[in-house]
Amino acid sequence: MNPSAPPPQPQPAAGPDPYAFPDRLSPMVVKELRQGLRSRGFLVSFLLLQGLLVIAVLIAAAAASGDGTSDAGQATTAAFWGMVGLPLLLFLPLGGLSAVRREMDQKTLDLVLLTRLSAWRIILGKWIGLVLLAVLLTLSVLPYAALRYFLGGVELAGELTALGLVLAGCALLCGLTVSLSPYLSRVGRVIFLGLSVIGAPQLLAMIAFSLAFSRMGGGPFGPSGFNPTLLQILFIATFAILLLFLAFEYGAAKIAPQGENHAARQRILLALLVLAAAGIAPDQATRFAQLLAVAGIVIAASVFPMLEPIPTALAAYHPWVRSGRLRHLLGRFLYPGWPSAVLWGVPLIAALLAALAVTSPSTELRAMVLIVAIGSAAFFPTLVIRLLPIRRREWLLLILAHILMAVLALFVGIAKEAWKRDLTPLTLPLPTTQSITLVTELIKDRQLPLHLIAATVTGCIGAGGLLLLALIALRRTIRPLEQAAARTRLPES
């Protein structure tokens, strides 16, 4: 070593990477955002959107410097919003269909769960990743919206409001597709993609032309269009948020270990949907419309869990049986499995139908019979399938049963129109067929009392039978599991 050589200088410590994501972000969000930004689909969508928007702005500039007719302005606005809606309302939500399923097919989901990320955080992280990509696309649209404002003919506030609504719609659709992803196989994704490609152009065209027509003072965003009150806006926002979180819970329940209880939050969210529809309303007519809007979701989401198996993992019962008598009693309604789903779902559906009957603007007997028939259609077929010895894909049997009853209603209508035969008495023990024939007015007014009696009887048999079976299962199956969970000390997670 040369003694005259200067001593080596210490190397400066490497600073933080300025391009790294902050540590406060969830690892799942960072992973999804990095994969999304590097994906070819997002890059192509981004560049294609910028190119099309440049063309749209140039056309708008040419139209503004020409005769400036309203038809040319509407066509330009429709083209602009069609280009904006295509990636935000179609491409990005469809990307959510493979968000979780890809992890399941590649056998990497178990590794992700071993990192102590809960199933709910996995679903939430994948949704946030897609929403951040949507925000990037939305921000890239803002300069073009400003250019269209300076070219004249549009209101900047209206443009920004419409852009915010499109982004909110994108976030809701992404949440639904990400939550649906664990349930769809490759064939299911292809079918869903085909249906979306067929129906999306019509929906996008309708939205684009509605926005274009609004600039002329009409349409849903014009002064003469839909002007919701503050309570209606509050209900719509509450409904969207609750629906989003409900979808997250169902998606997380599909990929979660058996010990995780997502049924409790699902049922509480369904009850909150009903309370929001009944409570956030300025008048009775609006309350009835809101209850009717949530009825299909609440009934379907309450009925299908009544066919789920009873989990045997003690972790599903442990937090409830070791936390006091009140929490233990509440757990009987919130455990995963069909008995607790029945104990919670039957009163919830009954309360929803009672609220519909009370707030209904129609006092005719037909409306009351229809409400009772809907309840019967929820309970009676579920009881029949519950009594069958089949314990696989009961949900598919329930769907097929309702489809067959709907086909029978079509046959009753054809028989009445083509053959002049009244086959409506055949619908008495078939509540779904009865409901459809009531809506289509195939049932005459003089037959309504008989159908009210039949719907009431089948509905009571269905609800009472389900409650009886649930109480029997609670005593024979769930109580031993509760006792075993109370005696077992599970390790802290």
> What's the pLDDT tens digit per position in 124-165?
999 999 999 999 999 998 888 888 777 766 777 777 888 888
Report the pLDDT averaged over residues 224-245. 80
Is position 474 within any domain? yes
Is position 435 within any domain? yes
Q: Which of 25-34, 148-157, 232-241, 253-262: highest mean pLDDT?
A: 232-241
Q: Which of 32-36, 224-228, 234-238: highest mean pLDDT?
A: 234-238
The pairs formed by 260-263 with CB atoms below 8 angstroms and a separation of 24 or more are: 260/118, 260/119, 260/315, 260/316, 261/316, 261/319, 261/334, 261/335, 261/336, 262/119, 262/120, 262/336, 263/305, 263/334, 263/335, 263/336, 263/337, 263/340, 263/341
Amino acid letter at 334? L
pLDDT at 151: 72
How far is 226 from 307, CA to CA, in rounded Å? 41
pLDDT at 70: 53
Which of these three, 227, 260, 277, is where a domain ends? 227
Do 390 and 480 lie in one domain? The reply is yes
Do 117 and 35 lie in one domain? The reply is yes
pLDDT at 274: 92
If you compute the radius of gyration of the chain from its CA atoms, what whole number of angstroms results? 28
Which of these three, 208, 227, 246, is where a domain ends? 227
How far is 295 from 374, CA to CA, in rounded Å? 10
Is position 10 within any domain? no
Predicted confidence (pLDDT) at residue 219 exceeds the cutoff of 50: no
pLDDT at 148: 77
How far is 347 from 158, CA to CA, in rounded Å? 44
Residues 6+ apart with CB under 8 A from 408: 426, 427, 430, 433
Is position 350 within any domain? yes
How far is 428 from 492, CA to CA, in rounded Å? 54
How far is 459 from 439, CA to CA, in rounded Å? 18
Do 199 and 242 lie in one domain? The reply is no
> Is pLDDT larger for residue 430 or for residue 258?
430
Residues 6+ apart with CB under 8 A from 99: 32, 126, 130, 177, 178, 181
Predicted confidence (pLDDT) at residue 222 exceeds the cutoff of 50: no
Is position 55 within any domain? yes
| 378-419 confidence digits (pLDDT tens) | 999 999 999 988 878 888 899 999 999 999 988 988 888 888
Do 323 and 337 lie in one domain? The reply is yes
Is position 34 within any domain? yes
Do 317 and 288 lie in one domain? The reply is yes
Do 376 and 440 lie in one domain? The reply is yes
Do 186 and 298 lie in one domain? The reply is no
Class of residue 301 by CB neighbours under 10 A (exposed 0-12, middle 13-18, buried 19+): buried
Do 221 and 257 lie in one domain? The reply is no
Do 213 and 279 lie in one domain? The reply is no
Assess contact for 375 and 355: CB atoms under 8 A.
no
Is position 360 within any domain? yes
Which of these three, 227, 261, 284, is where a domain ends? 227
What three-state secondary structure class fits 7? coil
Report the pLDDT averaged over residues 215-229. 50
Is position 8 within any domain? no
Reported confidence tier of residue 197, pLDDT bands at 50, 70, 90: low
Which residue, among 87, 149, 124, has the nearest Cα to 251 in the 3D structure?
124
Q: Give me the domain span that covers residue 392.
A: 228-493
What is the count of structural domains for the chain?
A: 2
Distances in whole angstroms, Cα of residue 267 to Cα of each of 242, 276, 335:
11, 14, 10
Do 330 and 459 lie in one domain? The reply is yes
pTM: 0.83
Q: If you count them, how many residues does the chain have?
A: 493
pLDDT at 290: 87
Reported confidence tier of residue 91, pLDDT bands at 50, 70, 90: confident
Do 138 and 248 lie in one domain? The reply is no
Do 167 and 36 lie in one domain? The reply is yes
How far is 37 from 129, CA to CA, in rounded Å? 10
